[in-house]
């Protein structure tokens, strides 16, 4: 990776963000977003990451397996259960089963197309499955529905910087994020505004 900034290649999942920043958001700013970090090195091509990161169901703990099987049974019996599709997608997300997470999120979005959180998680799964452009499209739709969606904006910049090698685009995306949430921070605790300055200095 050419830019040695303090930002890590990571994503934030909606449940994690809201539990951590609910109080901060109530006061109109984002203080200290905590991101889940990629297991694969940022230097590994996204297609190779997708090939490397497949879920072996036999490696899952019994409780996770039980929950996933129950959710699969529920959506088979009640395919219009939007929340069940979302929860199933979330479990596939957490167990790194990218293709199945994409399928489940798309099923939920067919029922509720304006869920910005699900669109953001779908974007993450597209990226992890090797399709950066589909990821950007999902983040863009989430932002169009919820313009102040910090998660979608941060993740959009991650894909631009690391996968599309679009530093200028990432800077623009994060500048827009900082306008909305001036106190947004990277996992290291470094303000996004400072990371933007470092990226600009490396032009």
* pLDDT (0 to 100) of residue 186: 75
pLDDT mean over 144-154: 95
Q: pLDDT by residue (tens digit) across 115-147? A: 999 999 999 999 999 999 999 999 999 999 999
CB 100 within 8 A of CB 58: no
Question: Where do the domains of the chain lie?
Answer: 10-201
Give dist(CA 48, CA 43) in Å, integer: 10
| Helices and strands per DSSP (H, E), number in the chain | 10, 2
Mean pLDDT of the chain: 79
| Fold type of domain 10-201 | 1.25.40
Question: Is this structure's pTM higher than 0.85?
Answer: no
pLDDT tens readout for residues 16-71:
443 333 333 333 333 333 333 232 333 333 443 444 444 455 578 899 999 999 99
Identify the residue whose tokens are 């909606």: 14
Across residues 72-99, what is the average pLDDT?
Answer: 97
């Amino acid at each position: 990776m050419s830019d040695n900034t303090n930002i890590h290649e990571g994503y934030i999942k909606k449940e994690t963000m809201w539990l951590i920043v609910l109080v901060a958001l109530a006061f109109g700013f984002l203080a200290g977003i905590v991101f889940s970090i990629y297991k694969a090195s940022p230097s590994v091509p996204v297609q190779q990451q997708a090939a490397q990161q497949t879920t072996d169901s036999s490696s899952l703990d019994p409780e996770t397996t039980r929950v996933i099987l129950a959710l699969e049974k529920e959506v088979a019996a009640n395919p219009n259960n939007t929340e069940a599709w979302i929860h199933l997608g979330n479990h596939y997300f957490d167990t790194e089963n990218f293709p199945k997470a994409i399928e489940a999120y798309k099923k939920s979005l067919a029922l509720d197309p304006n869920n910005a959180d699900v669109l953001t998680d779908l974007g993450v799964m597209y990226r992890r499955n090797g399709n950066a452009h589909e990821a950007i499209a999902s983040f863009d739709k989430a932002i169009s529905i919820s313009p102040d969606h910090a998660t979608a904006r941060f993740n959009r910049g991650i894909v631009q910087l690391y996968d599309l090698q679009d530093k200028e685009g990432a800077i623009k995306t994060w500048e827009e994020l900082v306008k909305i949430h001036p106190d947004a921070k990277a996992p290291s605790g470094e303000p996004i505004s400072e990371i933007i300055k470092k990226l600009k200095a490396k032009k």
